[in-house]
């Protein structure tokens, strides 16, 4: 095994650490899922940087079991919107359970997804159930869902820290994305993330988060 040194990134006093933590917490708590996008452009080089960040995430045995499709082509976005709305219409009108629809009520969502056209970029994350190597053939991937979920977290956090916005979107089911984007059999759609600026008049549901006392047990 080859190693290299890994010194601490910062040398902060307790006070500096507290202040940094406070600033980061305040910034991250401003993140919201946005469903109203501006058509303001975001350059490809910025999207590339965001994907570098996502790709730096930890993954089971460092297999990086993910593929990102970044789409700015309006015709392809339109195809995705049409296919997504078809699935979502069936979901809202037929497939969704009463409980699920009730839980969605406070978010005001519907089968209509205009942001799939408006947002300048759609990033589709695919999870690779196994790898395909030219010489070895099928190779094993480990903790695929956990790994891809963590990479998605890195990506969502980076998008927010740049002042851009996104929505964690899962049109149900998502098989149409494999077809439109011509992905191989070992890849399954994981998340669809529209990326851009929020519309000037964007609003978000006025929801609250559980407090730490409910979700943390100190030992
Ligand atoms: C795995 C996952 C799937 C989601 N799928 C959708 C979706 O398909 N459509 C949607 O409008 N929101 C979707 N959301 C967004 C959630 O509704 C949102 O994160 C939640 O209401 C909390 O709001 P916040 O992200 O603004 O904190 C999804 C979130 C997650 C984590």
Task: Determine the length of the chain.
Answer: 219
The predicted structure's pLDDT at residue 95: 92
Give the residue carrying structure tokens 């996502």.
Answer: 54
Q: How far is the CA of 138 from the centre of ligand 1 (A)?
A: 33
Burial 35-52, CB ≥16 within 10 A → b, else e: bbbbeeebeeeebeebbe
Q: Is the CB of 168 under 6 A from ligand 1?
A: yes
Per-residue pLDDT for 106 more than 90?
no
Q: pLDDT-derived band of residue 108, with 50, 70 and 90 as boundaries?
A: confident
Index of the ligand 1 atom closest to the CA of residue 172: 8
Per-residue pLDDT for 123 more than 90?
yes
Q: Give residue-wise pLDDT tens across range 141-183.
A: 999 999 999 999 999 999 999 999 999 999 989 999 999 999 9
Q: How far is the CA of 12 from the centre of ligand 1 (A)?
A: 35
Please state, in angstroms and as integers, the Cα–Cα distance from residue 193 to each residue in 91, 96, 164, 214, following that order. 19, 22, 12, 29
Q: How far is the CA of 42 from the centre of ligand 1 (A)?
A: 23
The predicted structure's pLDDT at residue 172: 85
Full-model pTM = 0.97
CA-nearest of 134, 135, 113, 116 to 124 is 116
Mean pLDDT score, 26-37: 98
Per-residue pLDDT for 54 more than 90?
yes
Q: Is the CB of 107 under 6 A from ligand 1?
A: yes
Strand positions, DSSP E, the chain: 66-71, 121-128, 130-133, 137-140, 165-166, 187-196
Q: How far apart are CA 219 and CA 190, in angstroms?
A: 35
- Token pair, residue 207, equals 């929801």
Give the residue carrying structure tokens 């910025």.
Answer: 46
Q: For atom 9 of ligand 1, which residue has the closest CA?
A: 169
The predicted structure's pLDDT at residue 158: 98
To test the ligand 1 pocket, which listed residue (103, 114, 156, 169) has its Cβ within 8 A of the most ligand atoms?
169
The predicted structure's pLDDT at residue 28: 98
Per-residue pLDDT for 192 more than 90?
yes
Index of the ligand 1 atom closest to the CA of residue 88: 8
CB 17 within 8 A of CB 178: no
């Amino acid at each position: 095994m080859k190693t290299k040194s890994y010194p601490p990134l910062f040398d902060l006093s307790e006070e500096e650490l507290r202040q940094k933590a406070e600033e980061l917490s305040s910034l991250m708590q401003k993140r919201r899922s946005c469903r109203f996008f501006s058509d303001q452009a975001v350059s490809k080089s910025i999207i590339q940087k965001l994907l570098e960040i996502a790709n730096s995430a930890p993954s089971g045995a460092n297999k990086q079991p993910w593929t990102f499709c970044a789409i700015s082509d309006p015709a392809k976005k339109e195809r995705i919107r049409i296919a997504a709305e078809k699935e979502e219409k069936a979901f809202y009108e037929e497939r969704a359970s009463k409980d699920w629809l009730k839980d969605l009520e406070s978010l005001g969502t519907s089968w209509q997804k205009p942001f799939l056209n408006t947002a300048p970029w759609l990033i589709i994350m695919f999870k690779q159930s196994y790898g395909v190597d030219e010489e070895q053939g099928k190779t094993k991937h480990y903790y695929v869902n956990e790994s891809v979920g963590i990479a998605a977290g890195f990506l969502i956090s980076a998008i927010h820290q740049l002042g851009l916005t996104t929505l964690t979107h899962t049109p149900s089911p998502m098989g149409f994305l494999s077809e439109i984007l011509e992905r191989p059999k070992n890849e399954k759609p994981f998340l669809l993330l529209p990326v851009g600026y929020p519309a000037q008049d964007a609003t978000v549901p006025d929801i609250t988060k559980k407090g730490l006392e409910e979700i943390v047990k100190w030992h």
